[in-house]
């Protein structure tokens, strides 16, 4: 039986309702996947006796699986089936979380994270941004920012909720509650709230979209964009895992390091609000450049031990907040709403792979060579990313001028 709401055209859908629904789903998706083990890892280890490495390693396996599935998800979103891709992610998240909650053996737990990885590849920012961009076209920039605002509160909501549930009912019940959220909240929103674009590709022609490649005058932009996204993902992955250790090496106590780290989340939200209000007046590639510069400047303050750790983390969070948005708005502006999901799905294979392995690389450097080398590695990567991003901005500006 057809779902009648899916036949409605985008101009008849209230944007605020669509953005609020997708944003809420992204908040749930991030809170129950990327942020799941922040609170639950130790209780899982304590209850099962599995090593922390394997418990956290399940997440890394999920990220690798998401990298493998990203191009396929991008192909169907580009074809106009974003609502089905996102709905499928809800089912995958629910299945994975339910299996995690029932895991009595490590192999089942790891397999559950592989299913979660399929959900992440089909249901996080890239897919949500691509689906909204496919529906609303170039006017979706502000909508993407608003969705990211919702996602920015994922840790704020789900860390306390996870702690409450695991303390009072256990980590298994917590995972079951989160699985239910995907089925009760996210699945209906994706199926009934998101419309299908009127120019959606016929089902039999979806496979033909796999042949879409950047135009000759876009290839340099495509490569530079992929490099910037991959570098930023690597930096963020390493900082997320090793930030407390790095801050303590700069003279902070463990308590102070944890407290200062909490500044990153609110800073992301504030920077996204600025991007939504003031930043929309200039092109997205300029916003991306400013975000990358902010991340590099913040890391410089931390690496050189200036004693300005508080402003450094505020700047880091602000830069990261802008970068996470512009990885969607820049390719939308350059490649258009139809090609953007597919091309970004391909790019994400590399960046997600880096996100999965760079924390381990950072840990190896820290253990075998030392903190100074880890800081040098992160700092050098941020400087290289900054240079390439400035070059990318120049390429984008020339491309936009040539199209006028």
Within this chain, do residues 222 and 77 fall inside the same structural domain, yes or no?
no
Q: Is residue 6 part of a domain?
A: no
Show which of 163, 198, 233 is a domain's final residue.
198
Residue 208, domain member (yes or no): no
Q: What is the pTM of this model?
A: 0.80
Nearest to 347 by CA among 212, 205, 152, 151: 212
Radius of gyration of the chain (CA): 21
Same domain for 139 and 235? no
Q: Is there a single domain that holds both residue 85 and residue 157?
A: yes
Q: Is residue 223 situated within a structural domain?
A: yes
What rounded mean pLDDT belongs to the chain? 85
Whether residue 168 is found in the same domain as residue 316: no
Q: Residue 274 is part of which domain span?
A: 216-403
Same domain? For 150 and 291 the reply is no
pLDDT at 208: 57
Question: Do 168 and 312 lie in a common domain?
Answer: no
Could you tell me which of 259, 227, 282 has the C-alpha nearest to residue 397? 282
Q: Are residues 244 and 169 in the same domain?
A: no
Residue 207 lies in a domain: no
Largest CA distance in the chain: 64
pLDDT above 70: percentage of residues in the chain:
92
How many domains, in total, are found in the chain?
A: 2
* pLDDT value for 404: 66
* 191 is a domain residue: yes
The closest of 236, 257, 252 to 362, measured between CA atoms, is: 236
Percent of the chain whose pLDDT exceeds 90? 36
Report which of 17, 383, 380, 57 is spatially closest to residue 195, judged by C-alpha positions.
17
270: domain CATH number is 1.20.1250.20
Give yes or no: residues 146 and 185 share one domain.
yes
- Cα–Cα distances in Å, from 243 out to 190, 247, 351? 35, 6, 20
pLDDT confidence band for 93 (50 / 70 / 90): very high
Tell me how far apart the alpha carbons of residues 108 and 195 are, in angstroms, rounded to a whole number: 36
Distance CA 213, CA 211 (A): 6
Please report whether residue 5 resides in a domain. no
Phi, then psi, of 2 in degrees rounded to 5: -70, 145
260 and 286 co-located in one domain:
yes
**pLDDT surpassing 90 at residue 133:** no
**131 near 80, Cβ under 8 Å?**
no
- Considering the domain architecture, whether residues 269 and 318 belong to the same structural domain is answered as yes
- Within a domain: 370: yes
């Amino acid at each position: 039986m057809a779902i009648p709401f899916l036949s409605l055209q985008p101009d008849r859908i209230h944007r605020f309702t669509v953005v609020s629904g997708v944003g809420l789903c992204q908040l749930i998706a991030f809170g129950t996947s990327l942020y799941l083990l922040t609170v639950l890892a130790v209780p899982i280890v304590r209850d099962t006796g599995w090593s922390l490495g394997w418990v956290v390693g399940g997440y890394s396996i999920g990220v690798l699986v998401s990298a493998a599935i990203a191009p396929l998800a991008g192909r169907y979103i580009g074809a106009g089936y974003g609502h089905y891709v996102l709905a499928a992610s809800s089912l995958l998240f629910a299945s994975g979380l339910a299996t995690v909650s029932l895991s009595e053996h490590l192999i089942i737990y790891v397999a559950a994270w592989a299913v979660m990885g399929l959900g992440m590849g089909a249901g996080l920012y890239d897919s949500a941004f691509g689906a909204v961009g496919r529906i609303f076209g170039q006017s979706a920039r502000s909508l993407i920012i608003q969705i990211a605002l919702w996602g920015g509160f994922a840790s704020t909501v789900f860390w306390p909720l996870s702690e409450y549930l695991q303390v009072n009912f256990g980590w298994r019940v917590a995972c079951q509650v989160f699985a239910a959220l995907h089925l009760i909240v996210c699945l209906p929103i994706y199926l009934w709230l998101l419309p299908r674009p009127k120019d959606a590709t016929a089902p039999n022609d979806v496979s033909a979209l796999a042949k879409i490649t950047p135009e000759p005058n876009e290839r340099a932009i495509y490569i530079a964009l992929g490099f910037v996204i991959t570098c930023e993902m690597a930096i963020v992955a390493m900082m997320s895992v090793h930030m407390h250790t790095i801050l303590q090496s700069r003279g902070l106590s463990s308590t102070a390091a944890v407290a200062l780290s909490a500044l990153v989340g609110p800073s992301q939200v504030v920077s996204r609000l600025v991007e939504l209000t003031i930043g929309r007046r200039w092109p997205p590639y300029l916003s991306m450049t400013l975000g990358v510069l902010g991340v590099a400047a913040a890391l410089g303050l931390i690496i050189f031990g200036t004693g300005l750790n508080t402003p450094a983390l505020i700047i880091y969070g602000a830069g990261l907040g802008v970068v996470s948005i512009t990885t969607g708005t820049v390719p939308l502006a350059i490649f258009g709403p139809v090609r953007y999901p597919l091309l970004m799905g391909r790019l994400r294979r590399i960046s997600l792979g880096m996100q999965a392995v760079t924390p381990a690389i950072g840990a190896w450097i820290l253990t075998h060579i030392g903190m100074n080398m880890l800081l040098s590695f992160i700092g050098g990567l941020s400087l290289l990313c900054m240079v390439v991003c400035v070059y990318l901005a120049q390429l984008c500006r020339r491309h936009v001028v040539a199209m006028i």
